[in-house]
Amino acid sequence: MDKDLIKLLIIEYQQRTTAMSFQERPYHFSDKLNYVLVGLRRTGKSYLMYQQISRLLKEGHIKDEILYFNFEDDRIPSLSSEDLDRIKICFEEMFDYKPIFFLDEIQIVDRWEKFGRRLADQGYQVYITGSNAKMLSSEIATTLGGRYIISDVYPFSFQEFLTSFGIDIQDKNYMYRFQPQILKAYENYLRYGGLPEIVKLADKRAWLSSLYQKIFFGDLIARHQIRNDFALRILIRKLAESVKQPVSFNRLANVVSSSGKKISTDTVIDYLTYLKESWLIFSVENLYAKLADKEANKKYYFADTGILNLFLVDPLTSLLENQVAIQLRRIYGDGFYFWQHGTEIDFYVPDDQLAIQVSYSLQDAETRKREVNALLKMAGTMAVKKMIILTRDEEETIAEKEAIIQVIPVWKWLLTPSPAR
């Protein structure tokens, strides 16, 4: 790669990335650690790089310390690993400062991992993003030899989503002052998800469909050389239809096979692994189950409700529970479960002794009785400090057998300072 082009791009990137204005996202990075930002496509990983550059400048760093490089720039010819060193050398010829590296979509360069490890070993501060399946998978921690912190990047929280609509959530009365706007925004958030680019788009469904096709063909079919793409499509659709229920490997294999494409349980396990590595789905285990059943009989949720909604005909109940699962994962990572032992509790957080049921409405007497009794039964056998039923728009306090159950609309729960607690 020509050194003059490299130097031109370094200057151009510096000017652009240090002059941006943007909505602050709640991600914070230590200047003593190196990071790889991972997550579903289009969650805003590059955006977080720009945000971190802005923070460093506010803390006293100067523009001439910033080495941002976008490896997807169409002005760049094919790159080799030698070009990575050439970029570093060019920067050192231009500036008398130790660079802080922001390497965007670096996975395009073969053997980039060695360069990343070497930078960390030499004491440089480094931030890396990538959007192909290899960068999205758990392989990356091993590839970089433990020298980087893996930071999960999620779609917008509902608070971030409202901010993007111009609703001032710093106003202590915003929930009351802007309630009609909040409810309208929540309808969008529930149906179309929280990927940052979706906010201002008119044809949201078309954009989500295009994104899903990129994930399906790029991160799944191409990377893993899957020949039976029909079976994978059926599996994804079945997972979408089953977000509220545990489903076993055998059950999934039987459903897909009944569609006309025979598939083994081992293949289902492989496909589920690929789906998780692409960040399209995540799983939740049954806390009560034995080890073998924990692995074989999980609940599966989609990383964004907008993508889930592509597969559903009557979606609202499924979208509601999936949205709660996303928020719990954002807060607790893998530290939450469902509980199934005679009855089922949608979510349980052991560290906070918190039990959560999700029900679209409690207006039906049988539904109300089922949800309340399930919580009471669990509280009789497990340590439970707080019980919540999350609904579409109903709110009340239920006092039953000396227990207190809070009924809260999901939109309001998402807006509390610590919504899971």
Domains in the chain with CATH codes: 3-152 (3.40.50.300), 203-313 (1.10.10.10), 337-415 (no CATH)
Q: Are 375 and 388 in contact (CB under 8 A)?
A: no
pLDDT of 162: 95
The pTM score is 0.93
Residue 161 C-beta-side C-alpha neighbours within 13 Å:
25
Q: Is the distance from CB of 182 to CB of 411 less than 8 angstroms?
A: yes
Residue with tokens 């492989």: 270
Q: What is the pLDDT of residue 418?
A: 65
39 to each of 101, 143, 155, how far by Cα in Å?
A: 20, 17, 9
Letter for the amino acid at 151? S
What the block records as the tokens of 305 is: 């409700």
Q: Which pLDDT score, from 0 to 100, does residue 43 have?
A: 94
Of the candidates 276, 378, 360, 273, the residue with the CA atom closest to the CA atom of residue 322: 360
DSSP 392: S
Question: What whole-number distance in Å separates Cα of residue 142 and Cα of residue 149?
Answer: 11
Q: So what's the pLDDT on residue 356?
A: 98
* SS3 labels along 159-207: HHHHHHCCCCCCCCCHHHHCHHHHHHHHHHHHHHCCCHHHCCCCCHHHH
User: How confident is the model at residue 183, as a pLDDT?
Assistant: 96
Owner of token pair 């579409």: 392
Compute the 3-state secondary structure of the chain and give helix, strand, coil in percent, each to the nearest 5: 50, 15, 35
- Burial of 116 (C-beta count, 10 Å sphere; 0-12/13-18/19+): buried
Q: What pLDDT score was predicted for residue 378?
A: 95
The whole-number mean pLDDT for each consecutive block of 10 residues of the chain, a chain of 421 residues, reads 95 94 91 93 94 96 97 90 97 98 92 95 95 66 85 95 89 89 96 95 97 94 93 97 96 95 95 93 93 89 98 95 98 95 94 97 97 96 95 96 95 81 50
pLDDT of residue 130: 80
- In the DSSP assignment, the letter for residue 29 is -
